[in-house]
Amino acid sequence: MTDSGQNRATRVSGYEAYFVGVVMFSFMLNFLDRQILTLLLQPIKTEFGVSDTALGLLTGFAFAAFYAILGLPISRLADRTSRRVILVASIAVWSVATIASGFSTTFTQLVVARIFLGLGEAGFVPVATSLIADSVPAHRRATAMGLANAGFPLGIMAGFLIGALGLQWHGWRGAFLIAGFPGVVIALLFWMTIREPRPAGRSTPLAEDRAHESLVASLALLWSRRSYRYVVAGNSLSAIAIFGLSSWLPTFLVRSFPQDAHNVGYILAPAFGIAGTVGVILGGIIGDRFSAREAARGLWLCAGVCIPVIPLIGASILSTSLTAAVVFYSVAYCISVIYSGPAMATMCGVIPARNRAFAIGIALYGMNLLGLGVGPLFVGVVSDLVGGGRYGTQLGMLLETLIYLPAAACYFLASRSVAQDLAQVEGITSASVDPAIGVSPRPAPMPLR
């Protein structure tokens, strides 16, 4: 290739930059509309007089059940129809559901709106990820994925900021209304300016493989990868703690310190936004370095970060100072999300290309059904069992923190078989894997795409 050809190949087009920017903003709205409820739990409880268990169901299961169950069929539908249409519909549905939450006059109406929020968000992440993969050249794909995923911690930050502003100006209903309207605009913008990639980025052999492989065969292949099974289990357990603790932290701080909910939102917004962004980026960089010589090291990192998180969260929850509580939790949150990059890279590496989208869909299913469904509900149930209030929430959060121990064990178990699973994907015979050390005799970088 000539120098001019190489420059053209590495140059980022204006459309590509615009596309990644719109998708990143959509990712941010995705988590904003999901996260904003966590800051509004105490005002909602005060108005409707519901239990902490009911709040846990509202925060988690009402959303997660439909989000997780519908995610897989929507992902499979996206392989057969326009992903652009599905994405626009998803953004529109969850945005309207958020707005509808602001018009709720009963707790039941709020639950129904939360269910529709789950319906709207169900297919967004796998479909958006597929669009990125097909719209961005391979040598820039990891960067594009990283930028898109940065929308998640930014969405948490925006959720706390907008929630705080809405509470201060118009109450909890106003917060939902402010959060919902930007999504309607983005849905229209996506429809008018984003195009379906042509070709869709799937080679003919890969498409034929998918067409002829049955669902049972796909599931059997995933189950045969021992490291994949343990990583999915570790991710799901980690998600229980991350989503459960994050959902109840604002309410716990309101109950523990003389602060209004909107003040807590202003405090937590930069804490979550900065800590989460730093953690995700560090996880990817450190994970690549750890896995470059030996794939198991990336999973050792995943296991290792679970351990210091436990005392840090404990120090946060038991602190008698609001500043100390937020600082300890911010550090813990930054460390807790480091696992995401190495874990995702492992799942992509040990599964053949034709099954990777389905494999990620299964992993997201477990993380959302357990993380979003069980995590917030567990804290609410424990809180009610011991009388609610500050100490009930505190006990529930402390107990949920212990879930990091079995999560660490799962990542360690996955590390013991990851080399063999990678060897199968790379077409290396089992004889080339040294059983004494459990790694391939030649260094094999972790495939990221």
Tens digits of residue pLDDT in 77-103 = 766 677 788 889 999 999 999 999 999
Mean pLDDT of the 238-245 span: 92
Report which residue type is found at 355: N
The percentage of the chain sitting over the pLDDT mark of 90, rounded to a whole number, equals 35
Q: Which residues fall within 8 angstroms of residue 340, CB to CB, at 6 or more apart?
A: 149, 280, 283
Q: Residue 57 CA to chain centroid, in angstroms?
A: 19
The radius of gyration of the chain from alpha carbons, rounded to an integer in Å, stands at 22
What DSSP letter does each residue of 131-168 carry, written as one string? HHHHHS-HHHHHHHHHHHHTHHHHHHHHHHHHHHHHHH
Report the b/e string of 157-170 with b at 16+ CB within 10 A: bbbbbbbbbbbbee
What DSSP letter does each residue of 283-350 carry, written as one string? HHHHHHHHHTT-THHHHHHHHHHHHHHHHHHHHHHH-S-HHHHHHHHHHHHHHHTTTHHHHHHHHHHH
Give yes or no for residue 7 having a pLDDT over 60: no
| Cα dihedral 251, 252, 258, 262 in deg (nearest 10) | -30
| pLDDT in the model for residue 206 | 43
Domains of the chain: 15-194 (1.20.1250.20), 215-449 (1.20.1250.20)
Closest CA to 37 of 251, 312, 231: 251
Q: Among 16-30, 70-84, 218-232, where is mean pLDDT lowest?
A: 70-84
Inter-residue contact 397 to 245 (CB < 8 Å): yes
Q: Which residues fall within 8 angstroms of residue 64, CB to CB, at 6 or more apart?
A: 118, 368, 369, 371, 372, 373
Report the half-sphere exposure of 280 (CA within 13 A, side-chain side): 19
Which DSSP category does 372 fall into?
Answer: I
Which DSSP category does 59 fall into?
Answer: I
**Residues 352, 330: Cα–Cα separation, whole Å:** 37
Q: Among 106-120, 162-176, 272-286, where is mean pLDDT lowest?
A: 272-286
Give yes or no for residue 372 having a pLDDT over 90: no
Q: Which residues fall within 8 angstroms of residue 26, CB to CB, at 6 or more apart?
A: 87, 91, 124, 128, 151, 186, 190
| Termini Cα distance of the chain | 23
User: Structure pTM?
Assistant: 0.74
| Cα dihedral 180, 182, 184, 185 in deg (nearest 10) | 170
Each residue's pLDDT tens digit, 162-189 = 888 888 888 899 999 999 999 999 999 9
Inter-residue contact 228 to 347 (CB < 8 Å): yes
